[in-house]
């Protein structure tokens, strides 16, 4: 059995990828949903994306050498962009449409690998676009994509995991209310607990509250600043 070609070799050459993304981004800049997102892209953006995808598919390492790029740099371009699923789907649709127009190889094996990578990459882009900091280490390797992968390099395992803080108000008899039915007695008597709760919004991005919290702790929660975390309150706990 002969050597199996890379996706890059099967697709053609670097000109194949440069033509694909040149015509693709021409469509993007005219699209009513995507134009605003890409209107300020650098003159080198199209070439960098073509080099990036070609390298991922097994082509020459022009992105990491000539363009001095890294996977972390590419991820960084999506941080804070607040991309939506609708935008992602439009981006994918236009790229696949362009692929047909420029005559990109259309055999089932290549196209399934091509679409698999595009789906993987764009879904990660949407996730990263909601972040404020780049989760990837600068020395992370480039992803590699071939004929049988269902995913690329798993960089997200090294992302910083968020901490979960659990605060429970439990009494010995299982009933937290005071002698007169008050439910904030512990806050009034424990200064350290009050300080902890007061500082909680500044150190959290989401608060999952018990069903009675909004009522019993309204004096605490009503003064939350505009940067306060999301408040989630289940009906039953």
* Unique residue bearing structure tokens 């509250």: 209
Instruction: Report pTM.
Output: 0.64
Q: What is the DSSP secondary structure assignment for residue 152, as one 8-state letter? A: -
Pick from 7, 109, 125: nearest CA to 77: 125
The number of helices, as runs of H, and strands, as runs of E, in the chain is 11, 2
**Per-residue model confidence as pLDDT tens for the chain (237 residues):** 458 899 999 999 999 999 999 999 999 999 999 999 999 999 999 999 999 999 999 999 999 999 999 999 999 999 999 999 999 999 999 999 999 999 999 999 999 999 999 999 999 999 999 999 998 888 889 999 999 865 554 444 444 555 666 666 666 665 566 667 666 666 666 676 667 666 666 666 666 666 555 455 545 555 554 444 555 555 444
Sketch the domain layout of the chain as residue ranges.
Answer: 7-158, 164-237
CATH superfamily ID and name for 7-158: Globins (1.10.490.10)
């Amino acid at each position: 059995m002969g050597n199996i070609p890379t996706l890059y070799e099967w697709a053609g050459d670097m000109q194949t990828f440069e033509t694909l993304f040149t015509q693709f981004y021409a469509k993007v800049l005219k699209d009513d949903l995507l134009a605003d997102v890409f209107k300020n892209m650098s003159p080198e953006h199209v070439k960098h994306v073509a080099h990036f995808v070609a390298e991922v598919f097994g082509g020459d390492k022009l992105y990491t050498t000539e363009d001095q790029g890294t996977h972390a740099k590419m991820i960084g371009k999506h941080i804070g962009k607040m991309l939506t699923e609708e935008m992602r789907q439009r981006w994918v649709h236009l790229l696949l449409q362009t692929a047909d127009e420029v005559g990109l190889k259309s055999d089932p094996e290549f196209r399934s690998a091509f679409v698999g990578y595009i789906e993987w990459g764009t879904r990660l882009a949407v996730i990263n676009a909601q972040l404020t900091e780049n989760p990837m280490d600068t020395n992370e390797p480039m992803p590699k994509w071939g004929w049988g992968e269902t995913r690329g390099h798993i960089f997200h395992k090294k992302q910083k995991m968020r901490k979960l803080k659990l605060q429970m108000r439990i009494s010995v008899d299982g009933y937290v209310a005071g002698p007169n039915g008050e439910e904030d007695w512990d806050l009034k008597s424990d200064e350290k607990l009050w300080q902890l709760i007061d500082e909680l919004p500044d150190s959290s991005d989401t608060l999952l509250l018990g069903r009675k919290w909004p009522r019993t702790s309204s004096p605490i929660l009503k003064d939350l600043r505009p940067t306060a975390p999301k408040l989630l309150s289940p009906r039953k706990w």
